[in-house]
A and B are shown apart, each in its own frame.
Chain A
């Protein structure tokens, strides 16, 4: 595992953010190494989303600093974060259903060709580029001409991840990429996450599906009511321990126990 040896890519230090009287984040720290997959877990309202939004520039923290590759950065908007090569795949995926796969992958940066001086979309290049982008990550797609509305949930997720990766990010944040997917599709998306991190991209994975963490993550960080409560290397923990850390007490989870081979 890369953890512990690869250079630090991100250090978030003492990040605090309050929404009115509610302290969503209270002096939270996060470190992420190059090529590492970090699982970010916690109960609803623990601050996972807020923390990821701070890193993606969607939320400006009240306090704290972010150090990216040794340099302090300030993100006032998602555009700032994107400029520093931080990409986020949102849960709603941000795809245009009635536009085809290639069009979605290249939305906003379509290759052009000039016909009689008029700039038109270069469809052939779009489909070729799209095929290459997908092939690069091993994403299988029947055709780049399919409209996104005709794809399965897993395929849509793959398109969203593929698009984010095509911006050549240093850090990719994924919010619940495997929620509401069929079993085989979860495996495909997890394999995709592995492929992304193998390219040296640092990944933050937010998920409620704890078993997924043990497939792809190098390390798990647990938030509880806006505070760091624990960090575990994946080889040194179990689902039961993570469940207990998430809920903040010893908890006999029927659902988590059923997933684990060594139920108590």
Chain B
């Protein structure tokens, strides 16, 4: 070894770190931008209302965000494969209604929970079958699901809201508290952590990204990509069912009108977070921030006493601006040519 060798090694290590720093900036630009945007929203609503930054309100946001957060985690997987699942709001409604009907029929609540989760998985598998095996565009398959599945819920309930016995322990899923934190929020955190690990650390997560980036490359590597895609829709169905249970338990009733427009809110949260609709590029930290942002905007606008007829307009504009900033200023969410 020449005396210069350690210096060369140090130089290499430094260049390796520079690379990592550059890569971090490149890969995380979208996440940084949504984090900044989220903090700006929090500061804004804290300044213009007295009630936003109170413990009661923050816990309230946490409880309300849970269904959105849970489904957004699964939706991040779906969108990263280059797909979309428009049926989540309808699956949520069907499970919501079916749960109330089965509880009213006297089924024990643990069985209802398991059955409902299975219903969600089954509907997801059905979507996945048509997308992966039959090659029909996910947009069309799940759009059909959006219509038909809510139709089922409407047919079963005849449009009525079905009450759940207020004494049933089932309601704790939506109303319970553990260590001073709402149970739905804890469920959402567990789902997020599980999703994060699966997405970033397992081969399944890697193939989800790979399928979105270049499905043919993954297939040639000997991976069964149809199974990956089907699994992603099954996860999405499962998450929507879990969200449906939480909402039924929180409201103490089941209704076919639950979760109207929910799918759009979920997709907005995921895309706000920097996951590319073209597939191949997903981030769960971004999705967490995106979901928090969507929830904070919704909550903050109500606290501002804005007319409920204006709220959707303002929400839509804010989301568009956020995504536009993400595209233009941080140049993320675009694919390299």
Residues of A at under 8 Å CB distance from B? 78-79, 92-99, 103-104, 107-110, 112, 118-121, 142-143, 145-147, 149-150
Contacts and interface: CB of A to CB of B under 8 A. Distances in A.
Contacts, number: 79
Interface in B3-57: 15-16, 19-20, 23, 26-27
Contacts of B16: 142-143
A145 B19 CA distance: 9
A108 B215 CA distance: 12
A96 B19 contact: no
A174 to B, nearest CB: 15
A120 to B, nearest CB: 4
B254 interface: no
Contacts of B223: 107-108
Question: Which of B20, B212, B222 neighbours the largest number of chain A CB atoms within 10 Å of its CB?
Answer: B222
A121 B206 contact: yes
Contact of A98 (B15, B20, B281): B281
A121 B206 CA distance: 9
A103 B207 CA distance: 10
A99 B214 CA distance: 10
Interface stretch (B91-99, B113-121, B195-203): B195-203
Given A107-B223, A109-B221, A146-B19, 18 more contacts: A94-B214, A94-B216, A95-B214, A96-B210, A96-B213, A98-B281, A107-B221, A108-B221, A118-B197, A118-B202, A119-B202, A119-B203, A142-B16, A142-B19, A145-B19, A146-B23, A147-B26, A147-B27
Contacts of B214: 94-97
Contacts of A142: 15-16, 19
A120 B205 CA distance: 10
Interface residues of B, number: 28
B229 to A, nearest CB: 15
A22 B20 CA distance: 53
B273 interface: no
Nearest to A88: B220
Interface in B179-208: 197, 201-203, 206
Contact of B212 (A98, A103, A109, A147): A98
Contacts of B281: 98
Contacts of A118: 197, 202
A103 B223 CA distance: 14
A120 B202 contact: yes
Contacts of A121: 201-203, 206
B279 to A, nearest CB: 9
Contact of A97 (B26, B203, B220, B280): B280
Nearest to B337: A149
Given A147-B23, A150-B26, A99 B203 contact: no
B280 to A, nearest CB: 4
B217 interface: yes
B334 to A, nearest CB: 11
Nearest to A149: B336
Contact of A99 (B26, B201, B202, B213): B213
Contacts of B15: 142
A110 B223 CA distance: 11
